[in-house]
Amino acid sequence: MQLTIIAVGKIKEKFLQEAIAEYEKRLRPYVKLHIHEIPEEKRPGSATEPVEVRAMEKEAERILAAVPAGSFVVALDPDGTGRSSEEFAGGFSQWELAGKSHICFLIGGDLGFAPAVLARSDQRLSLSRMTFTHPIARFILLEQVYRAQRINHGEPYHK
């Protein structure tokens, strides 16, 4: 299975870079992983709503241009469906059975997604009802993908 993560922004914190690298390494036996970072749209700290909307639209253009053709797209969205780790693992099994061999996860910027990105998504997933920074969301997603792979392969990890 191929897995692409398209994320707005770079990981600046060294401890998160190391944690993400660790899960990238752990995932190698299970999936072919590619992480594509999209630059955040620059805007002033006191941006007006129209400026923020335009920034989201510009990020959306870059996100949508990076989505691999034919991939099943899952947007991380606070209003998406929450899943347990077991349900998330089951999603991978269902995608594979349905012939979806390339899954693309989208992580938006601090403003969220423009409507065009959500319209392109095949599914919306909420990691939690809590709010996380986008770098933390990337780490949590990778850890949960790894957990899902271990669950689906009947390997110890999940308790």
Q: Is the pLDDT of residue 157 over 90?
A: no
CA–CA distance, 2 with 31 (Å, rounded to integer):
6
| The pLDDT of residue 86 | 94
Residue 158: band (very low, low, confident or very high) from pLDDT cuts 50, 70, 90: low
pLDDT in tens, 83-98: 999 999 999 999 998 9
Determine the residue type at 115.
P
- Calculate mean pLDDT across residues 114-122: 96
Place of tokens 């423009």: 114
Structural element, H or E, at residue 3: strand 2-8
- Calculate mean pLDDT across residues 129-142: 93
For the chain, domains (ranges, CATH) are 2-152 (3.40.1280.10)
Q: In this predicted model, which residue has the larger pLDDT, 159 or 50?
A: 50
CA–CA distance, 28 with 79 (Å, rounded to integer):
30
| The pLDDT of residue 113 | 94
| The pLDDT of residue 49 | 87
| The pLDDT of residue 44 | 81
| The pLDDT of residue 159 | 59
Please report, rounded to a whole number, the percentage of residues in the chain having pLDDT higher than 90: 81
Q: In whole angstroms, how large is the CA radius of gyration of the chain?
A: 16
| The pLDDT of residue 131 | 85
